């Protein structure tokens, strides 16, 4: 089970960090974006409000001007001797009700008959924008400067008996319009300012949240860690596959792709794929469902037997997914074989060291007792024994690796006071292939170690072991008999299985299984029968041409 805590995530931080970190960058960028959007919206709204209000006021002024122009009393007053006496009172009432800045009525010569300032009645209208109404009979709006100042005004002709006799001008001062527009715009800008303030505060919270989710890392550090992670992931020799809580593959490295597909597919082809579609017999769905780890499981993936370890991933007590690591079983077994050979060589050397140490002590003692003749006899006797073993094996076995291993095992047996007999008709003169040599080294070492343990059993008949080997015929044969207690029939079918042993203790049950695998790799056979010595009889048969 993988449990990740925030405090466990130690990140190497650069000494020269950027002056503006990600936190300030995000606040500045989000704030600048918000201010820009607010300014654009505010400008558009101000323009829209200004244009709309001006249009509405213009329409309102034009409507009032048209209404005044069609009042019968006003048009008939143009025939009276004193038109202003009739028109001025009517216009003043209408102006008061419409809130217009002014309503001016003039004749064809633009002489005023009505005006907000009575003292200006009888004088000529100012603005010089009455031609379209007086000459063309149009009703329209315009902006011009009159006696009361710059104003937005509407013009409408006054008809009498089908002829244009005057003009009505209704206006609103520009200053008043600007004041109205500012009142509306101010409210808009205040609202937008509030929104902008809220956006900046939100930017601070967003920046804090993202910074917290990124464990305080800067973008440069994140890219560096990503590159480092990818490099490490694809440099690992073990295959790695990770899934999320939905059971979809989120990560797969090159070793996994090479092992499972021969390297024909890319990681992008796997990412997002449900795990059960790629690996129907994977333990990851079980791990994801139960939150429990599964170790050392043998699984068949794409014609490869692999050892798989599957563990869930937790972050702050929350299940995030699961990850499986696996390695080719063949590679592990080859490594185990090499270690077994090294152990065998070490045992053989240790046996020789102890044996010769005892002999050196014997020679030293005889020398101190001044027994020179006994010393010479002892040395000659030991030399002849060692030379006999070496010569015998060199004469019968051409391969130096096999003969070297047997010499070491004979010395080890001598130290353990085990009697090993090499049958006189034994011979091995064939040139061995690398596969056959590897298989024989594994078989001889493990089977002799097994025989040593057997003859030391308290139920053993004696401490005798017999070795016989030959290359006569089409096969290489190697036979080992021991006088141990033997293997009962109930255990005979299981003794070659991984982890099974008839002896107690940890670390057992692998020697015979490795031997069987090595012999199978050489296309050979391993048989087990009762021995004439009373124990177990092992026969290794390997084809010469493999």
Kindly list the domain boundaries of the chain, sorted by start residue.
Answer: 69-177, 223-328, 371-543
Banded pLDDT at 505 (limits 50, 70, 90) = very low
Residues whose CB is less than 8 angstroms from the CB of residue 224 and which lie 6 or more positions away in sequence, other chains included: none
Using only the alpha carbons of the chain, give its radius of gyration.
Answer: 54
Q: State which fold the 371-543 domain adopts.
A: Heat Shock Protein 90 (3.30.565)
Q: Identify the three-state secondary structure at position 239.
A: strand
Domains 69-177 and 371-543 in one fold = no
Distance of alpha carbon 162 from alpha carbon 235, whole angstroms: 101
CATH of the domain spanning 69-177: 3.30.450.20
User: What is 223-328's CATH number, 3.30.450.20, 1.10.3470.10, 3.90.950.10, 3.30.430.20?
Assistant: 3.30.450.20
Q: Give the rounded percent of residues in the chain with a pLDDT score beyond 70.
A: 77
pTM: 0.40
Distance of alpha carbon 66 from alpha carbon 54, whole angstroms: 18
What does the pLDDT average to over 101-105?
86
> Exposed (0-12), middle (13-18) or buried (19+): which is 180, by Cβ within 10 Å?
middle
At 281, phi and psi to the nearest 5?
A: -100, 20
What does the pLDDT average to over 198-221?
79
- Top-confidence residue, 462 or 495: 462
User: Residue 19: pLDDT above 60?
Assistant: no
Q: What is the pLDDT of residue 477?
A: 92
**Stated length of the chain:** 546
- Pairing mode, if any, of strands 318-328 and 239-244? antiparallel
What does the pLDDT average to over 179-198?
80
Q: What is the pLDDT of residue 336?
A: 63
């Amino acid at each position: 089970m993988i449990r990740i805590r925030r405090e466990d995530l130690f990140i190497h931080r650069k000494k020269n960090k950027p002056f503006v970190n990600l936190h300030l960058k995000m606040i500045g960028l989000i704030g600048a974006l918000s201010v820009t959007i607010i300014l654009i919206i505010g400008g558009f709204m101000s323009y829209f409000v200004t244009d709309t209000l001006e249009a509405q006021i213009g329409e309102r002024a034009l409507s009032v001007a048209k209404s005044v122009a069609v009042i019968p009393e006003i048009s008939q007053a143009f025939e009276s001797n004193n038109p202003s006496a009739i028109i001025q009172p009517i216009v003043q009432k209408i102006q008061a009700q419409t809130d217009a800045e002014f309503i001016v009525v003039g004749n064809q010569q633009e002489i005023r008959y009505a005006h907000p300032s009575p003292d200006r009645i009888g004088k000529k209208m100012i603005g010089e924008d009455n031609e379209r109404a007086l000459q063309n009979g149009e009703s329209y709006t315009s902006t011009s400067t009159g006696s009361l100042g710059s104003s937005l005004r509407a013009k409408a002709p006054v008809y009498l008996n089908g002829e244009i006799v005057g003009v009505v001008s209704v206006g609103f001062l520009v200053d008043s319009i600007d004041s109205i527009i500012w009142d509306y715009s101010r409210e808009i800008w205040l609202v937008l300012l509030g929104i902008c303030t809220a956006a900046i505060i939100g930017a601070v919270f967003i920046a804090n949240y993202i910074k917290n989710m990124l464990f305080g890392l800067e973008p440069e550090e994140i890219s560096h860690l990503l590159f480092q992670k990818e490099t490490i992931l694809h440099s690992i020799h073990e295959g790695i596959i990770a899934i999320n809580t939905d059971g979809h593959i989120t990560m797969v490295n090159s070793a996994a792709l090479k092992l499972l597909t021969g390297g024909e597919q890319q990681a992008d082809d796997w990412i997002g794929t449900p795990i059960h579609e790629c690996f129907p017999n994977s333990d990851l769905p079980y791990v994801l469902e139960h939150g429990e780890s599964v170790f050392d499981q043998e699984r068949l993936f794409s014609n490869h037997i692999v050892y798989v370890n599957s563990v869930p991933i937790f972050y702050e007590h929350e299940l995030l997914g699961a990850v499986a690591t696996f390695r080719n079983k063949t590679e592990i077994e080859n490594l185990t074989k090499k270690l077994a050979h090294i152990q065998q060589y070490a045992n053989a050397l240790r046996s020789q060291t102890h044996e010769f140490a005892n002999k050196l002590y014997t020679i030293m003692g005889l020398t101190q007792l001044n027994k020179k003749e006994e010393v010479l006899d002892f040395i000659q006797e030991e030399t002849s024994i060692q030379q006999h073993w070496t010569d015998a094996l060199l004469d019968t076995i051409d391969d130096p690796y096999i003969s070297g291993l047997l010499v070491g095992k004979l010395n080890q047996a001598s130290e353990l006071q085990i009697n090993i007999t090499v049958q006189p008709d034994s011979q091995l003169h064939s040139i061995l292939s690398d596969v056959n040599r590897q298989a024989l080294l594994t078989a001889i070492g493990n089977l002799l170690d097994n025989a040593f343990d057997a003859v030391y059993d308290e139920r053993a008949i004696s401490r005798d072991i017999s070795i016989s080997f030959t290359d006569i015929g089409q096969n290489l044969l190697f036979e080992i008999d021991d006088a141990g207690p033997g293997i009962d029939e109930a255990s005979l079918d299981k003794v070659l299985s991984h982890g099974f042993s008839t002896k107690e203790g940890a670390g057992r049950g692998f020697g015979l299984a490795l031997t069987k695998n090595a012999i199978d790799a050489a296309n050979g056979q391993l048989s087990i029968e009762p021995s004439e010595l009373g124990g177990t009889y092992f026969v290794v048969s390997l084809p010469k041409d493999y």
